[in-house]
Amino acid sequence: MVRRMLAAGLALVALVATGCSPESEAESPVQVGRDLGASQVLRQRVFAERETGDLRLDLFLPDHDRPAPLVVYAHGGGWNAGERTLRPGTPEGSAARALLTAGYAVATVDYRLSGAARHPAQLRDVAEAVRWLQGKATDLGVDPDRLALWGASAGGHLVSQLGAVTGDPAQPGGGLTGVRAVLNWFGPTDMRAEVQRAHPRMRPYARAAVTELLGCAPVECPQRAAAASPVTHLSGDEPPFLIQQGTADSLVPVGETFDFAAELRRRNVPVELHPYEGLDHGFAKAENPETITKTLVAYVKTHV
């Protein structure tokens, strides 16, 4: 029934056919059979208005008659770059396609970049996108109580922190409901000064990106760095975590990731950590990218 209701909006596709640009519309029309094998795509939905501009999301729906469980994706880019677009052929695009084939809806969301707003603005933005989707779940055809948070690099950090504060509504972005899994692709989890001291070879870009996000170098503002570190917020109330990262990551020290997984286990939070030998930051050069995708989809099927 939900799909039939959405299909009623297909007449709006004629706007695109006559040359109207989606970017010029407040909301683009429903598209069918477009991108990543989705049955329907709802583009450029505004979920929040900020002084720096509207924040939007795209929702990819599977061929599914009942409300679909939902995976919300936060992009990477060092918090100061990147976009929500999921491109076919990229590791993220391939994983999204596999999730859609498995019957999951995938939403990819904007957040304010660090050049426009400091942490924790990004957390609040992603959390607001999740709540917007849940509030409109019936109309959108998604299940508000079956949700996974997925992010890569900077996005992995954001979803990890949102997962860490699901049990604490007082924290920025905290108290999200319906989150059954967090999927962290090579995202940092500890911004504190001692971590930077312990990894002096970490690339200058990573140091600069963290400094821009916080508005200060972690060695100068350790309390702010701690507040932006998922590892400092763990309580035992977290949903299960899947963490995937290369062992040769030159931007996010893999030891930091192992420590985070150990802290989750110490609190009896289910966690799977998959280190990929010799792989640097990102999965674009993975020898067997299908293994990474299959692991993610299997984890989502188990928990969401």
Q: What is the pLDDT of residues 14-51, one digit of tens each?
A: 322 323 333 333 455 555 445 899 999 999 999 999 99
Q: What is the pLDDT of residue 33?
A: 47
**Is residue 210 one of the residues assigned to a domain?**
no
Q: What is the pLDDT of residue 167?
A: 95
Distances (CA, A) of 246 to 57, 191, 283: 29, 19, 8
The whole-chain average pLDDT of the chain stands at 89
Number of structural domains the chain divides into: 1
Q: What is the pLDDT of residue 32?
A: 47
Go through the chain and tell me how many residues it has. 304
Q: What is the pLDDT of residue 28?
A: 53
Residue range 224-256, pLDDT digits in tens: 999 999 999 999 999 999 999 999 999 999 999
Amino acid in position 102: A
The percentage of residues in the chain with a pLDDT greater than 90, rounded to a whole number, is: 80
Nearest residue to 260 via CA among 200, 212, 195: 195
**Is residue 164 one of the residues assigned to a domain?**
yes
Report the predicted TM-score, pTM, of the whole model to 2 decimal places.
Answer: 0.89
Residue 121 pLDDT more than 80?
yes
Residue range 140-149, pLDDT digits in tens: 999 999 999 9
In the structure, what pLDDT confidence band is assigned to residue 209 with cuts at 50, 70 and 90?
very high
**Is residue 200 one of the residues assigned to a domain?**
no
Residue 11 pLDDT more than 80?
no
**Is residue 213 one of the residues assigned to a domain?**
no
Nearest residue to 245 via CA among 304, 195, 295: 295
Q: What is the pLDDT of residue 202?
A: 75
**Is residue 61 one of the residues assigned to a domain?**
yes
Q: What is the mean pLDDT of residues 171-200?
A: 90
Nearest residue to 208 via CA among 112, 280, 115: 115
**Is residue 198 one of the residues assigned to a domain?**
no
Q: What is the mean pLDDT of residues 273-283?
A: 96
Q: What is the mean pLDDT of residues 172-190?
A: 97
Strands 142-152 and 179-185: parallel
Q: What is the mean pLDDT of residues 154-181?
A: 98
In the structure, what pLDDT confidence band is assigned to residue 197 with cuts at 50, 70 and 90?
confident
In the structure, what pLDDT confidence band is assigned to residue 4 with cuts at 50, 70 and 90?
very low
Residue 81 pLDDT more than 90?
yes
In the structure, what pLDDT confidence band is assigned to residue 109 with cuts at 50, 70 and 90?
very high
Q: Give Cβ neighbours of residue 194 (< 8 Å, ≥ 6 apart).
A: none
Kindly report the CATH number assigned to the domain that includes residue 35.
Answer: 3.40.50.1820
**Is residue 41 one of the residues assigned to a domain?**
yes
**Is residue 179 one of the residues assigned to a domain?**
yes
> Can you give the residue range of the structural domain that contains 271?
2-189+228-303
Residue 3 pLDDT more than 80?
no
